[in-house]
A and B are shown apart, each in its own frame.
Chain A
């Protein structure tokens, strides 16, 4: 189901809240900021695994605004379109708004403790045909990391808290959240009902300066889930799925060298195997490692160029499932004191292998033009 009026209403509420920006604000987002633009990401595959092309473009809409002295609100939604084509079947396209997330951040203690309450408004395409589901599945791949991994789910609410403090030269942050998603009907051509389990997430992060010119950031996030359940229908059997615990570790090192800024960053996504009502689902175990090297250099007063090199390794189950090597260029321009633009392009080359399915070389591409406005 679509609810096109909801994003607009929520967006209007967020923007209007900017006028209520309080005096002496303690909020994390103390100014009205907005992000939008256009993003395209796609891959083409040689014959071998059946898939031919997967592509997605989206128009993000992100607005953050202070709402009084202690509260800020941020709103995120997208209009997205995904495309999937296999060597054997007919091409499929899935388009529409994604879910809208509205998050309220409450500052309990300035720069020390904040609470969060977020709502997932089901404005997205959570009910699709089984053929369209191919698109949803393709863009959900952690290996390929599409900007929009999810076209829609049910109503959701999440509460969280984050705490930060300094310990010597380190800034330490810990946070946790609990998320509930209501049940919904994933398939338009079947009556199966899907009830996602609760998600609990904890994160610990640390960052510090290394000398005067470098900065180090570390993070570790763990997500755990209660059991998802599927209620039966004419075509599907009732069952359940217990997702495996996820661990995301992050590392970034930023160093200023002359006028340039060098960024070396990496993240690793590790997911334990899930358990289904019919047995363990070993294929859901996976590890994705991503490393990037970026060098930002100002070429003019308001223009920076940022070439990048990337590497990604996908290891589903206990074998190597794919590898990507990437190169790209980002141009970052300050169009005015309030408006900045980022134009990015990238090219990826690599391969994918799925046990029981086959091997295929692949090429990826991506481009985006994003505008950021600060009031």
Chain B
């Protein structure tokens, strides 16, 4: 959630798991859950009552009497936090952590205090530090989920700030080659395909992120902005809307478009690239095919856009773009539903949709990772730590949806062993196709030694070999 949403097929780096450090992990769990409850974030959690002023005064007195008692000081910090006195909580937690830098419970509370103060970057740093201590698996999930929720908050804050500073941003030059991808507008009538608005955007964004020369705006960052502008789902795909959105996220160019599913599930995808500065359309792409060829359609449009933008792809980029996250369209539709639920903050529904997608295609790594992330986010906001261990396993998949690299190798291998004219397809319309050696020998000619015009001139050779002596 913290970078461009990449539907790559490689499994995520595996965390090295260690035996849970109960002395550190348990207090962190307790701290996180209690703090979340106190912050009012978890609708399903047990919400403790806020301490009274008398309670806090009593604790302050005792801490003054025993300034070296870290546990007592921590109790005061908890009380401050529960009373929404986040600045006081942070000040006291600093004291605790100076005395006990390894106190994970105090560090957990510090993160929540920063969140209360809307100092999200500091909160993120605290949670990241905690993750770096390699706590138990369940705590890792809890922290990851908390980071997901934090990202959503940060994006909302950034979107509101951007809207407030819109006139200023309009005069600020965007980052060079920065591209944002708007959700694609669905103009059909069957609402079951509407989630593809987000799924297709995620696909396009993933493919464009393979291009080294481009910088991509995170999908959820743009989505939160559109939600704040109340533009999501309005069907506005005109260049002016795209350009405005692009300026707000500091993108130089915005990809937007629409798709339709006509008769016999014929998919048509139209996309444009709009220059954010002046809403000028700089490139268009369009492709239609059956729904089952959704990925081919999307990739064809992406390649058209890149070509028209004058971008020459490296072999590595071309290979990366040709990768498909899955071959199962239903799995991808479920994945798109997950994105939709995730965007509206319904992490439970998102986890279910992503999980179903991963179940349909175990090789759909992105779905598995998103299922894990959404489950973690849901757990972080609703589930007691004791239940977290039973939560969905970590992401990753048994393998990629499709590996065009080995696919091309396989194609070359079979064409080398059983050559046919089909191998010529690779040489037409494809730059850089190497020259092909002779693959289909003229056997009788060789046997007759008529190989080449010089020997053809000696056509009598055939008789020399075969004729009766």
A residues contacting B by CB (< 8 A) are: 21, 23-26, 28-31, 33, 35, 43, 45, 49-51, 54, 60, 62, 64, 74, 76-78, 84, 86, 101, 103, 105, 110-112, 114, 116, 118, 130, 133-134, 136-145, 149-150, 153, 158, 160-166, 171-177, 179, 181, 186, 192, 194, 196, 201-203, 205-207, 209, 211-215, 217, 219, 221, 223, 225, 228, 230, 235-237, 239, 241, 243, 246, 248, 250, 252, 254, 256, 258-261, 263, 265, 267-269, 274, 276, 278, 281, 283-284, 286, 288, 290, 292, 294, 296, 298, 301-302, 304, 306, 310, 314, 316, 321, 332, 334, 337, 340, 342, 352-354, 356-358, 370, 372, 375
Contacts and interface: CB of A to CB of B under 8 A. Distances in A.
A116 B425 contact: no
B327 A332 contact: no
A329 B110 CA distance: 68
Given A76-B422, A217-B434, A162 B407 contact: no
B18 interface: no
> How many B residues are at the interface, by size bracket?
35 or more
B435 A205 contact: no
Contact of A256 (B292, B312, B425): B312
B316 interface: yes
A259 B417 contact: no
Interface string B304-322: 1001101011111101000
Given A111-B406, A286-B451, A354-B454, A175 B435 contact: no
B424 A62 contact: yes
B135 to A, nearest CB: 33
A319 to B, nearest CB: 12
B177 interface: no
| Most A Cβ at <10 Å: residue of B404, B422, B463 | B422
A24 B329 contact: yes
Contact of A28 (B407, B467, B469): B407
Residue among B432, B450, B452 having the largest count of chain A Cβ atoms under 10 Å: B452
Contacts of B431: 261, 263, 296, 304, 306, 332
B92 to A, nearest CB: 50
Nearest to B291: A23
B235 to A, nearest CB: 25
Residue among A62, A64, A140, A217 with max Cβ neighbours from chain B (10 Å): A140
A166 B319 CA distance: 14
B437 A267 contact: yes
Contacts of B14: none
A357 B458 contact: yes
A110 B402 contact: yes
20 contacts: A28-B407, A64-B425, A84-B453, A84-B456, A114-B410, A136-B450, A140-B445, A144-B452, A158-B418, A164-B410, A171-B405, A173-B413, A175-B413, A202-B417, A205-B416, A206-B409, A212-B317, A230-B466, A236-B467, A294-B432
Nearest to B293: A31
B15 interface: no
Contacts of A235: 467-468
B190 interface: no
B390 interface: no
A165 B428 contact: no
B13 interface: no
A77 B421 CA distance: 8
A216 B84 CA distance: 62
Given A103-B418, A162-B414, A174-B413, A137 B445 contact: yes
A296 to B, nearest CB: 4
Contacts of A203: 413, 416-417
B286 A54 contact: no
A217 B329 CA distance: 33
A163 to B, nearest CB: 7
A64 to B, nearest CB: 5
A173 B327 contact: no
B434 A265 contact: yes
A46 B93 CA distance: 96
A137 B443 CA distance: 10
B417 A177 contact: yes
A260 B313 CA distance: 9
B228 interface: no
A214 B444 contact: no
Contacts of B408: 171, 207
B210 to A, nearest CB: 10
Q: Which of B300, B433, B436, B446 gathers the greatest number of chain A CB atoms within 10 Å? A: B446
Given A177-B418, A192-B466, A337-B287, 5 more contacts: A105-B414, A116-B417, A137-B445, A140-B450, A302-B307
Nearest to A159: B418
B455 A243 contact: no
A173 B418 contact: no
A231 B447 CA distance: 14
A15 B21 CA distance: 64
Contacts of B447: 194, 228, 230, 241, 243, 274, 276
From A24, A118, A201, A316, name the one whose CB has the most chain B CB atoms within 10 angstroms. A24
A162 B408 CA distance: 12
A164 B316 contact: no
B328 interface: yes
A73 to B, nearest CB: 10
Nearest to B430: A332
Contacts of B451: 137, 140-142, 283-284, 286, 316
Interface string B388-418: 0000000000000011111111111110111
B446 A352 contact: no
Given A23-B329, A158-B418, A292-B435, A340 B292 contact: no
B52 interface: no
Contacts of B421: 35, 60, 62, 74, 76-78, 101
A212 B211 CA distance: 10
Given A23-B292, A136-B445, A298-B307, A357 B434 contact: no
A86 B457 contact: yes
Contact of A254 (B432, B452, B458): B432
Contacts of A118: 418, 420
A165 B454 CA distance: 44
Given A186-B444, A236-B468, A354 B458 contact: yes
Contacts of B454: 49-51, 321, 352-354, 357-358
Contact of B457 (A35, A51, A225): A51
Contacts of A334: 429
Nearest to A356: B458
Interface in B273-299: 286-287, 289-290, 292-293, 296
